[in-house]
Amino acid sequence: DQQVKQNSPSLSVQEGRISILNCDYTNSMFDYFLWYKKYPAEGPTFLISISSIKDKNEDGRFTVFLNKSAKHLSLHIVPSQPGDSAVYFCAASAGGGTSYGKLTFGQGTILTVHP
Amino acid sequence: NAGVTQTPKFQVLKTGQSMTLQCAQDMNHEYMSWYRQDPGMGLRLIHYSVGAGITDQGEVPNGYNVSRSTTEDFPLRLLSAAPSQTSVYFCASSIGTPNREQYFGPGTRLTVT
């Protein structure tokens, strides 16, 4: 049972436009959400996170929105740059005790930004 | 700081062989985890540790063993390799709370023939 889902395997965007990556989750115990970026042959790198007590978190060109009632989050990249081309993973965490060591990942979305 | 390091980068095993994937971090993080990445599956948690001497199973633990004797090191052992264990393996570490972001190593690409 996939608890975190990224239903779009790929997204293609023109340089300078907005990229919107989506993620849905089913586990109500998740209270912290993260986005990671991954280039080929490298490990994932942390981008931005959001706690369930917030509905928006912004860091430069990256903004994450959380809709708890819909169990949905999205990552907005504005403006998109060719260097943003990578695989983006959504991840979720359920807090408390040993659970801090566990992240549940979505399948990933391949973002391609065309010059 | 070197961050999270993993060795080897690549490995080819024959079915039935055993090996240990090494992982080390120099950030004094209490939490460490092992994930595997397969096409279309995202990253799946194999085992994790919340401190020296404490480990627990993740989503896909079968065929793997771990131990954590020091804060810095968290090796992953394949007891008897199978073709289904062909994957890319990532080790990660974190402080756990309040910010739960995990920092990943560069990965080990394992092929079992």
8 A C-beta contact, residue B21 and residue B33: no
Task: Return d(Cα A14, Cα A44) in angstroms, integer.
Answer: 24
Rounded average pLDDT over B2-23: 96
Q: CB contact, 8 Å: A101 with chain B?
A: yes
pLDDT in tens, A3-50: 999 999 999 999 999 999 999 999 999 999 999 999 999 999 999 999
For B68, other C-beta atoms within 10 Å of its C-beta total: 20
Task: Return d(Cα A54, Cα A67) in angstroms, integer.
Answer: 9
The tokens for A115 are 């010059």
Record: contact B43-A105, CB cut-off 8 A: yes
Q: Which residue from B33, B45, B99 is facing A49, i.e. has the nearest CB?
A: B99
- Residues sharing a CB contact under 8 Å with residue B13, sequence separation 6 or more, in sequence order: B19, B78, B81, B110, B111, B112, B113
The pLDDT, as a whole number, for residue B100 is 87
Q: Closest chain A residue to B97 measured between Cα atoms?
A: A100
Record: contact B100-A106, CB cut-off 8 A: no
Cα distances (Å, whole numbers) of residue B26 to B29, B32, B89, B98, B101:
8, 12, 19, 20, 16
Record: contact A43-B41, CB cut-off 8 A: no
pLDDT in tens, A71-89: 999 999 999 999 999 999 9
Rounded average pLDDT over B51-64: 94
The tokens for B45 are 């948690």
pLDDT in tens, B67-105: 999 999 999 999 999 999 999 999 999 998 777 899 999
In one-letter notation, the amino acid at residue B52 is A
CB contact burial A33-57 (16+ within 10 A = b; e otherwise) = bbbbbbeeeebbebbbbbebeeeee
Q: Closest chain A residue to B46 measured between Cα atoms?
A: A102
The tokens for A30 are 């998740």
Q: Which residue from B45, B49, B106 is facing A42, i.e. has the nearest CB?
A: B106
Shortest CA gap B18–chain A (Å): 24
Backbone torsions φ then ψ of B83, nearest 5 degrees: -55, -30
pLDDT in tens, A81-114: 999 999 999 999 997 777 777 999 999 999 999 9
Contacts of A4 in chain B (CB under 8 A): 42
pLDDT for B47 beyond 90: yes
